[in-house]
Structure 1
Amino acid sequence: MAKRTTKTQVGKKAAKKTAKKATKKTAKIASDTAKALTSGPTLGGRIQLAREMRGLSAAQLARRAGILLKTLGNWESDRSEPRANKLQMLAGVLSVQPMWLLGGAASGMAPEFGPDLEETADLASKVDRLIKLHERMSTLLFEVQSEISRLQTEIEDAPL
């Protein structure tokens, strides 16, 4: 007798696939955090890394720092460097120490991503809970659909 795949099994597979994708996103956040703490090798790399860790686009950071997007692009690609006053302002907008932007890990200054990391961990925990609920709801939904199909078949096959 051939093995049949039920709707419940299909639902469980879909829920597991969704959970796996979310786990990969959580792992990427952790990887980005570790990367930020060890810092990029250049001033431009650290500016870009801090911007990404804050969840800002280049356009958002440029607007908040009061600079042209092209200027920020030049800084992040190490084609030019910000003057001291702009570096100080960038550090403030990005919530990192100016010395970390200048020297990275070699400066002995670690970026201060603390509160955002706590928020990220809290959100990751909530996402995990939502994934589990979604998986459970998907399973229950497919079980109910299977039961409805079974009952409809029984009704249709019942003698009149």
Structure 2
Amino acid sequence: MTAEAPASQSHASEPPIEIIAFYLGEQQFCVRTTSIREIRGYAKSTPLPHAPPEVMGMMNLRGAVIPVINTARKLGLGRSEPTERSAIVVAELGGAIFGLMVDRVSDILSVATEVIQPVPEMNSGFDKSFVEGIIPQQGEMICFLNLERMFSETNKAEFF
């Protein structure tokens, strides 16, 4: 599936961006596939004492122990409880490997950069630092997350 730019903008020179889309509750989010190593079915993680609230615990990934993050909690959407449709999206940033628990993976898309809309300005203290943009897609809005900002060097120290 591909999100296309309007015909007047289809001559853009930038290559499309590959994304993986997933749901947290009823809202769809996505991240670039360049940071994603694999997608796994949900498996219970082992809790860690005194871990940050968004860290669900640790899991064994082929002999490597990695943290599993409750993505909804990390985004301030409240804690999401895993179901049979939940998945772990395994990501790697700067050599750090971690899992993102999502409610369900929906698609892998190729998106023209022209269709990515900026996040609207809001005066209510809304922190848009984790959001790269909004992608209108088949009547829905996909919130395009920036993993590098979500797990910057400052807050990576909390997890890794």
TM-score past 0.5 threshold: no
Structure number with the bigger relative contact order (C-alpha 8 A, sep ≥ 6) is 1
Question: Whose Rg is larger?
Answer: 1
- Structure 1-normalised TM-score? 0.22
User: If each structure's helix is expressed as a fraction of its own residues, which one has the higher value?
Assistant: 1
